[in-house]
A = this chain, B = another copy of it.
């Protein structure tokens, strides 16, 4: 299989942690093409003292500016690591692209260069997360800050296809993230989306509240990219604050410190189950190629996870499987 193109310049801890992440993945047998300013990347690579032949460097002289509006950034930097990396996927020289850089730029570039799947107006970022009894897919978690009901319906069909074809789930239960379970609940977007989903051929189970995401009541939960992003970041912050409080407590007295040591495996297991970063990144669903957006704060281990996930998705042939696109089917009038 072709190597996975990795954006060496994207993210809060680039390029050092990204390069280290590539090496970790290479040590697990994954071929990685580090895309970035060649000199900088090579000097970091040297520091890792990696001796194998699974890490290559592809030069991309420009660095995307996360302060710039995505489309502008994309136009101004045709030789950025994001543009070059996605170009490798397009040419078939890479099996997937992974970036911890600007989500907006990655999404815009992927849509423009790789193209959208048939039936998809807006590709969406999805994350697979652990529930109490399995796994579920939440989308969109950040590709579209402003969304329309018909886009949410497409997200649902996209998620449905992903769960069916990639994860082998039969008749996935589709839920709509909302601020209450009753169908009258919601804002304009969710109330109209509810009717659309209700009238579709999907196995729509109704509204899902954000507090119930981890209960595993649905296999696919759809939301707009703004709300989805807010919810996963809220969970992230809550988890961090809890661990901050716990470690403060544990370090305040020696017997509690002991307790902390004893408890660590349990807490880590929970983090692993709840923290989507441990699963790697968020696959961009709806484009004609395998693109994974990793967390901006990713360190080496998280980058390695994202590469492992990319490898899995690429070997399953996600983009190939989904290339037929989605067909939005509506049978009855929503109530």
Contact = CB atoms under 8 A, between A and B. Distances in A.
Interface of A: 66-69, 132, 142, 145-146, 177, 179, 182, 184-188, 190, 209-215, 224-227, 229-231, 233-242, 244-246, 249, 256, 259, 262-263, 266, 269-270, 273-274
Nearest to A183: B67
Number of copies: 2
Given A67-B184, A238-B239, A274-B238, A233 B259 contact: no
Given A66-B182, A182-B66, A184-B67, A233 B256 contact: no
Contacts of A224: 187
Q: Please report whether the interface of chain A is mostly helix, strand, loop or mixed according to DSSP.
A: helix
B262 A259 contact: yes
A194 to B, nearest CB: 13
A233 B210 contact: yes
15 contacts: A67-B184, A146-B187, A179-B230, A179-B233, A190-B226, A211-B233, A211-B236, A211-B237, A214-B240, A226-B227, A234-B238, A245-B273, A246-B266, A246-B270, A249-B269
Given A210-B230, A235-B234, A182 B67 contact: yes
A213 B186 contact: no
B231 A231 contact: yes
Nearest to A212: B237
B226 A210 contact: no
